[in-house]
Structure 1
Amino acid sequence: MKPIELICTINPSTISVEQLVNFKAAGMTIARINASHSDIEEISSLVSMIRSSIDRESIKIMLDLPGPEYRLTGYDKTLRIKANDELILVPKEFVPTDEIQALQTDYPVFGMPNMTGRTVLFMNGELRSIITSAGIDQIKIQFLNSGALRTNAHIKINDVHHEIPYISAYDRSLIDYAVSERIEMLAISMVRAASDVRDVIALLNQSSQKPTLVVKFETLESIQDPESIISLGDAFFVARGDLGNDVNPVSIPMLQKELVSLCNSYAKPVYIATQMMSSMQRSPYPTRAEISDVANAVYEGCDGITLSEETAVGDYPLEAVRLAREIIDYTGSYSFSVQALEPIFEQVMNTVSLKPIISHIQDVAERIWHNGWAEANAGNISWNVTAQITSLLELFEELSEYQHFYIVSKTCSRYRDIARDPLSNLILVAVNEDSTAYYPPNRVPTSEWISHLSIHQYLRAAGRDETVILHAHPTSIVVLSQLPEYDHGVDLSQFLPELKIYLPGGIGFTSYSEPGSVELSRKSIESLPNRKTIIWQKHGILCFGKDIDEAFDYLEIVNKAADVFLNLKKLI
């Protein structure tokens, strides 16, 4: 199984060295510091405590920035709220008097029209209220449920959006601090679009020491185009609390699955956060639903589970860490055994690195089929995807013992089958010095694989950049290869001058040998130097390209030259 991180939120007000050591022993791998509830002085002291008490190599520190969010101030202890209680909110600069007891907020909503009746959420929706009246300098709310309103509580008003700069002065100071202190991970909050991520990256790029950038999906805007964000970040949070305030909460499970799958396809870590084992704030045991929540997140393919209030303010923080790690490890081992039953081929092919390659293969296969250049199961394809798969080896440990990887058309596959259903008609071949593996294992590559592999090895050894070998049977080329004058070396470029532009090394030629034979492979290598195409007598053509489109270009132009030659021959 891949390693699953256990991210524990550390409260600088309550944490001790003994507790940190116990957290690590129980399975914590990342210590998260929520900067929304601390100043830089407190954060610095906590970082020093963590680094002096725990081996830096075994525990990473994640500094989680507040982002463009709003908070309540003006009270110094937790308030006990009952349903139907009323409260007044005032601007931060307003000083409450004896006549008006109120809580301050930096939320710039005072004086906005049509505020009455809107829902106000506190602490990821744990407390909910409704606006009963609103004026230029105060808003009156009535609570819809009971609960504890913690100090510096997060506040959000539904359907109110503000165009404010993404990086606040405080966030900027935290970024500078994280870089200077070489904090391992930096999480950014309330991201709205890829441009917010680029703003942070621009700041980080000013230094050679950059932390891992963890981007949180927790706003409606961020999930409108998640791939534009995933392409920029290093790792990601599915932060279900704030996200559930922006979208219908019933959609959260499916959004979680989709975001985890997307991050997996980009081979980037994704962590799940918010209320994973929330009941353990007050109970030494999680609910059955919470156990299932953690287990399902692991089974879906997440790379980490986050404990927030459970370890920051809960009564049973160490028990929460122990149980979370137990659930992760048990589910991870079971999940791995179940996933092993699924073809690793499909998992690899569905990554973002390989999907475009499969799409290109499908497109070219359809063009060859429609052009009538491969009867029945004639012709085949191989693509050296070593560069792409090497970047995925952390996800697919089984492949790490191999050095080279190829996507190959399976034996007896037709081009029309590849065009209709590529994944059912291709195979992944993994090769090292003394062994070869096929994925799926019940498939074998094309009968011409011996020639393909020999040519790929030659191209690699020669330092050439062609990665694709395309074999087809265009009728004109098959006919041409059997004419005595071609066997004696006729130059097709005299009939199609453009040929020299695309293929300055000319066209290779091999006399007839049995398809799939070692002899045919040997002859192909002998005629290969400086050439990007080889005509196999009575058996079509091989074309080599940096990608499949380039290889197909060579196939088209040689076939055109053969057509011109044969048509002129008819006229003579």
Structure 2
Amino acid sequence: IPCGWLGKGGSALTSLSQGSSLSLSLSPLPTLVRRRIHPGWSSFPPSGRIPGLYSSARPSPAEDPAMRHKMQRGAIPALVMISYANACVALSFRASSVHPPPAWIVPARLLAPHRLEAAHLLQHNRARYQGRRSSLKPLLATSSTPPPRDGPWLGPGYAPKGVDAVGPCSPLDARLPVDKTGKRWCKHTKQIATVGPSCSTEDMIDKLFVAGVDVFRLNFSHGSHEEKRKVVELIRRVEQKYRHTIGILADLQGPKLRIWCFAEDYVFVHQGQKFRLDLEVDALGDVTRVALPHPEILQTLRKDDLILLDDGKVRLIVTETDLRGEWVDTQVQVGGKLSDRKGVNTPSIIIPISPLTIKDRSDLAAALDMGVDWVALSFVQKPSDMVELRQLVGERAFVMAKIEKPSAVERLDDIIALSDGVMVARGDLGVELMHEDVPILQRSIIDKCRRRGCPVVVATQMLESMITSPIPTRAEVNDVATALYLGADAIMLSAESAAGEYPIESVEMQCKIINRVEGSENFFPRMQSRASSESVLVSGHNPHILNMQEPEQQHLAYDSITSAAMLLADRLQAKAMIVFTTTGGTAVRASRIRPSIPVIAMVQEKWLGRRLSLYWGIYPAYVDIDTGATDAPASNDFDALMARACSIAWDQGFAHAPEDLFVVTAGLPFGVKGAANVIRIVPAAGPESWLLPSTQVMQKGHVS
């Protein structure tokens, strides 16, 4: 039986007496399955025993002749599938067995009253065992009393009528989540990958998502609208397949300035020589001049201003300007090779041009029509650039400012206040500023974004060597880790995934670094200590997510509730924080204080879940409220809503046992923006399963 035979969550154990212990040898399993069982395990226990399923009081097959005889005659199957924390695990016995029993048996000890719906009985005959997929059917039980401790396990007689007639995929298969996404909640920092020629097929997008990508970036500097639309459709198809939110970031080219063409393929300019830039596009360039078809630059430049060509490889100093702004003469400070349409940077001036070119406006309209979740603007110079972008975007997407100009660094606080997110674009930032300034600016930008509750992305050359190499340099690994320790919400791959030879390996490497750093002893205490010392809890707020019209005292109350929920979760060792949110504000507040457990954001709209996918530690899930569905809880039934949330969190593998705890925070009444005012502690099995002290009462099976 192949490892993935049971697929999506049936429990199937052997027909031994309850509590028996078996010595098992483990079949090779993917890392992601091991992570689903327990995030701290790098491998299974050497004994082969999984805690909670077997008791060491009983002898192993090697020590018990009767049990060994059963295995030899085929009474015990050679391969057992166990659903543990909603992950299928293949275990093979050391003794050989070739004859399966007539039915798989469900152990009674796993059928706690509050998790009866999680147990399933799998019926199959030998024909199915030889190759056909078996079907799953919920095991319906009418009694809430578990079987006796030493009684027999449930057998074929408990099967509902018609179980054998179920098709190859039962309704349960369609409802339960896919196991491959379970490892995601183990990491808090999000991953962004750029889609390009190396990964534009559905199969590659699928593999990148499974490897760890949370948000896909579409670079509108390259490719047609039709190509981008096809990629969006493929991403949404993968999202539907795994029933897991995936964000899409549209990156606009911005006012990228370039020189014109040369008569030859290239020219060399030498240090000290004169070189002219003019508006004569009809005349091809040579070693003494080239056209610069941007009159706004020529009109703005002044003597001694610096001009950078080809990402700073060639540096020019302005020596003379034309009063009419038709040309400038320069002296070559650093010489080099120049060819057609190389980029131009002017770090010392603010160019009076619109932040959105005609191409950008066309790309923006197409991106919004495709339904992207984030829009990033390149070469932001001043706060008014973000105002113009937001006026065009409206409420159809979140907006992100790419910080890559010195003028943007000078007005950083104002730009952050007008943005939903910020990207540290270290490529052009390192061109227009000194290289040694970039690490300092990266730290400063991240710190300011943390104080404002604004998500920040670190990008460019994070694993540059993996474009052509299957492994990164040690310096690159350290660079990624540094971004995590500084508090970045997300890290991004550009050419590594878009045009590199090892896109999947690059994503997997980033994921490994994230898991290792976040698993280190001092990571979360350091994050939470910085949040406290920087007064993140009660300082700046993003006005486009949080309700800025409310008084500061009201913000203090909401932030204090979120902080108290995190402290309570830490004290109780809860498995996750469940946050009911209408606009994302409550979830964002929780993300800002960097909890050590996942933040499950229960949202009603897909667009909101996709946008929240970029935030640190937030994992969106959908919950139906007042949708008209027969099983949808009413918005005023808080217990029913918590039960639904616990069920979703359980199905997605956030808890390992029914008694695991969730800390729930919400605002009552529902639908009020930013009104977080309730904290509840709920077991993973749901609020109705809580074992109350004798001083409390039960009414109609619910907590009163």
TM-score, reference length from structure 2: 0.46
User: Which position in structure 2 is the counterpart of 1:121?
Assistant: 309
For the pair 1:156 / 2:156, whether they are aligned, the reply is no
For the pair 1:180 / 2:377, whether they are aligned, the reply is no
Q: Give the whole-Å Cα distance in 2 for the aligned partners of 1:282 and 1:333.
A: 29
What amino acid sits opposite 2:595 in the alignment? E
Q: Give the whole-Å Cα distance in 1 for the aligned partners of 2:374 and 2:309.
A: 29
User: Which position in structure 1 is the counterpart of 2:83?
Assistant: none
Q: Give the whole-Å Cα distance in 1 for the aligned partners of 2:442 and 2:275.
A: 36
Alignment partner for residue 387 of structure 1, among 547, 558, 577? 558
What amino acid sits opposite 1:66 in the alignment? Q
2:198–2:497 CA contact under 8 A, matched in 1: no
Alignment partner for residue 595 of structure 2, among 397, 408, 420? 397
1:23–1:318 CA contact under 8 A, matched in 2: yes
Q: Give the whole-Å Cα distance in 1 for the aligned partners of 2:528 and 2:540.
A: 18
2:347–2:433 CA contact under 8 A, matched in 1: no
Q: Give the whole-Å Cα distance in 1 for the aligned partners of 2:199 and 2:276.
A: 29
For the pair 1:257 / 2:428, whether they are aligned, the reply is no
Distance 1:48 1:344, change over 3 A: closer
Q: Give the whole-Å Cα distance in 2 for the aligned partners of 1:383 and 1:110.
A: 51
Tell me the alpha carbon deviations over residues 388-422 of structure 1, each in whole angstroms, 9 at most, x when there is no partner: 24342234436999xxxxxxxxxxxxxxxxxxxxx
Larger Rg: 1
User: Which position in structure 1 is the counterpart of 2:647?
Assistant: none
For the pair 1:3 / 2:188, whether they are aligned, the reply is yes
1:72–1:103 CA contact under 8 A, matched in 2: yes
What amino acid sits opposite 1:121 in the alignment? L
Distance 1:50 1:355, change over 3 A: closer
Residue pairs, 1:401-550, within 5 angstroms? none
User: Which position in structure 2 is the counterpart of 1:38?
Assistant: 223
2:528–2:595 CA contact under 8 A, matched in 1: no
- Bigger mean CA offset, 316-325 vs 28-37: 316-325
Alignment partner for residue 338 of structure 1, among 498, 504, 522? 522
1:8–1:307 CA contact under 8 A, matched in 2: yes
- In the TM superposition, what is the alpha-carbon distance from 1:310 to its structure 2 partner? 1.9
Tell me the alpha carbon deviations over residues 153-202 of structure 1, each in whole angstroms, 9 at most, x when there is no partner: 53213434321122322222223223222101111111122222122122
Q: Give the whole-Å Cα distance in 1 for the aligned partners of 2:267 and 2:285.
A: 20
- In the TM superposition, what is the alpha-carbon distance from 1:249 to its structure 2 partner? 2.4
Q: Give the whole-Å Cα distance in 2 for the aligned partners of 1:317 and 1:147.
A: 31
For the pair 1:302 / 2:488, whether they are aligned, the reply is yes
- Bigger mean CA offset, 162-171 vs 389-398: 389-398
Distance 1:384 1:219, change over 3 A: closer
- In the TM superposition, what is the alpha-carbon distance from 1:302 to its structure 2 partner? 0.4
Q: Give the whole-Å Cα distance in 2 for the aligned partners of 1:260 and 1:98.
A: 42
Q: Give the whole-Å Cα distance in 2 for the aligned partners of 1:399 and 1:383.
A: 26
What amino acid sits opposite 2:207 in the alignment? N
1:12–1:42 CA contact under 8 A, matched in 2: no
- In the TM superposition, what is the alpha-carbon distance from 1:248 to its structure 2 partner? 2.8
For the pair 1:248 / 2:434, whether they are aligned, the reply is yes
For the pair 1:60 / 2:247, whether they are aligned, the reply is yes
- In the TM superposition, what is the alpha-carbon distance from 1:5 to its structure 2 partner? 1.8
Tell me the alpha carbon deviations over residues 519-561 of structure 1, each in whole angstroms, 9 at most, x when there is no partner: xxxxxxxxxxxxxxxxxxxxxxxxxxxxxxxxxxxxxxxxxxx
| Secondary structure, aligned partner of 1:387 | helix
2:276–2:329 CA contact under 8 A, matched in 1: yes
Tell me the alpha carbon deviations over residues 84-122 of structure 1, each in whole angstroms, 9 at most, x when there is no partner: 599988768723559899876543345777668944232
Alignment partner for residue 71 of structure 1, among 258, 262, 273? 258
2:350–2:381 CA contact under 8 A, matched in 1: no
For the pair 1:224 / 2:422, whether they are aligned, the reply is no
Alignment partner for residue 210 of structure 2, among 25, 42, 60? 25
Q: Give the whole-Å Cα distance in 1 for the aligned partners of 2:481 and 2:338.
A: 29
| Secondary structure, aligned partner of 1:9 | strand
Q: Give the whole-Å Cα distance in 2 for the aligned partners of 1:345 and 1:120.
A: 42
- In the TM superposition, what is the alpha-carbon distance from 1:45 to its structure 2 partner? 3.7
What amino acid sits opposite 1:197 in the alignment? M
For the pair 1:195 / 2:380, whether they are aligned, the reply is no
| Secondary structure, aligned partner of 2:522 | helix
| Secondary structure, aligned partner of 1:36 | coil
1:82–1:143 CA contact under 8 A, matched in 2: no
Q: Give the whole-Å Cα distance in 1 for the aligned partners of 2:540 and 2:462.
A: 36
Q: Give the whole-Å Cα distance in 2 for the aligned partners of 1:188 and 1:326.
A: 30
User: Which position in structure 2 is the counterpart of 1:347?
Assistant: 531
| Secondary structure, aligned partner of 1:37 | coil
For these two proteins, the number of residue pairs brought into alignment is 377
Alignment partner for residue 289 of structure 1, among 475, 497, 505? 475
1:349–1:355 CA contact under 8 A, matched in 2: no
- In the TM superposition, what is the alpha-carbon distance from 1:2 to its structure 2 partner? 6.0
Distance 1:128 1:294, change over 3 A: farther
1:90–1:104 CA contact under 8 A, matched in 2: yes
- In the TM superposition, what is the alpha-carbon distance from 1:279 to its structure 2 partner? 2.2
- Provide the identity percentage: 25
- In the TM superposition, what is the alpha-carbon distance from 1:36 to its structure 2 partner? 2.1
Q: Give the whole-Å Cα distance in 2 for the aligned partners of 1:342 and 1:310.
A: 30
What amino acid sits opposite 2:308 in the alignment? V
What amino acid sits opposite 1:261 in the alignment? D
| Secondary structure, aligned partner of 1:293 | helix
What amino acid sits opposite 1:322 in the alignment? E
Unaligned runs of 5+ in 1: 358-381, 402-459, 461-572
Residue pairs, 1:135-146, within 5 angstroms? 136=326, 144=334
- Bigger mean CA offset, 79-88 vs 170-179: 79-88
Q: Give the whole-Å Cα distance in 2 for the aligned partners of 1:201 and 1:97.
A: 39
Q: Give the whole-Å Cα distance in 2 for the aligned partners of 1:218 and 1:248.
A: 12
What amino acid sits opposite 1:388 in the alignment? D
User: Which position in structure 1 is the counterpart of 2:294?
Assistant: 107
Q: Give the whole-Å Cα distance in 1 for the aligned partners of 2:555 and 2:500.
A: 53
- In the TM superposition, what is the alpha-carbon distance from 1:323 to its structure 2 partner? 1.6
2:497–2:506 CA contact under 8 A, matched in 1: yes
2:300–2:351 CA contact under 8 A, matched in 1: no
Superposition RMSD on alpha carbons, in Å?
Answer: 4.5
Distance 1:93 1:29, change over 3 A: farther
Q: Give the whole-Å Cα distance in 2 for the aligned partners of 1:138 and 1:308.
A: 35
